[in-house]
Amino acid sequence: MPSAAGTATDHVTRPASGPSRIWPRTAALVLLGWVLLAWDVVAAGINAAAFFGDIPSRDRYAESGAALLTALVPVALLCTIGLLSRCRYGLLLLAAPAAVVAALGADLAGRAGDPADPDPHRPFAATDLVADLTRLNWVATGALVVVLAAQVAWAVRQSGRRPDPQA
C-alpha cells in the first residue's frame, strides 16, 4: 500500500517550457470565422431575398455580394493569425467555407436587379464595398489588424531580433 507522501508525487507535470496545445487556438479561430461567415450569409440572404415574388433591386444584390466578399478580409486575417500561432490543417475548416462564401458573393454581385428599376444592370462599384451590410466586416478587420500587429510585436520581442536603430 503506497504511503500518502508517495501518491502526491506520482503525477507527471509538464515543464514550463514544453510545447503548448494548439488545438484550442485553432478551434477558437475557426469558430470565430464561422460565426462571422454565418452572420454575413444570413444578412446577405435576407437582403437579397425575393419576398412575396418581389425581385430585389440591383443595389440589394450588389450590397449582399459586397457583404460576402468583404467577409474574406477578416477570414484571411484569422487564417494569418492562426498560421503565426502554429495552427495548420485545422484552418482548412475555415478556408473551405470562405471559398464557398466568396463564390456566392461573386454571384450575387453580378446579378441584374429588377427590370423595373432605373438601372438594373449598373456595374459593381467600390462604394458597394462600404455599404451598411459590410460594416461588421470592416470593424472585425480593424480589430484583427490590431491583434495581428500585437502578435507580430510579441513574436519579435520574444525572438530578440529587434531592428537596428542605427540603420
pLDDT values of the chain reduced to their tens digit, one per residue, 167 residues: 555 555 555 555 555 554 578 899 999 999 999 999 999 999 999 999 988 888 888 899 999 999 999 999 999 999 999 999 999 899 999 999 999 999 999 999 999 888 888 888 888 888 899 989 999 999 999 999 999 999 999 988 888 765 667 76
C-alpha–C-alpha distance, residues 141 and 72, integer Å: 10
Contact 117/27 with Cβ under 8 angstroms? Answer: no
Contact 102/117 with Cβ under 8 angstroms? Answer: no
Write down the pLDDT at residue 50: 85
Write down the pLDDT at residue 159: 83
C-alpha–C-alpha distance, residues 26 and 31, integer Å: 8
Contact 128/111 with Cβ under 8 angstroms? Answer: no
Write down the pLDDT at residue 113: 86
Write down the pLDDT at residue 167: 61
Q: Would you kindly state where each structural domain of the chain is located, as residue ranges?
A: 21-156
Write down the pLDDT at residue 161: 61
DSSP per-residue codes, 16-76:
TTSPPP-HHHHHHHHHHHHHHHHHHHHHHHHHT--GGGPPPPHHHHHHHHHHHHHTHHHHH
**pTM to 2 decimal places:** 0.80
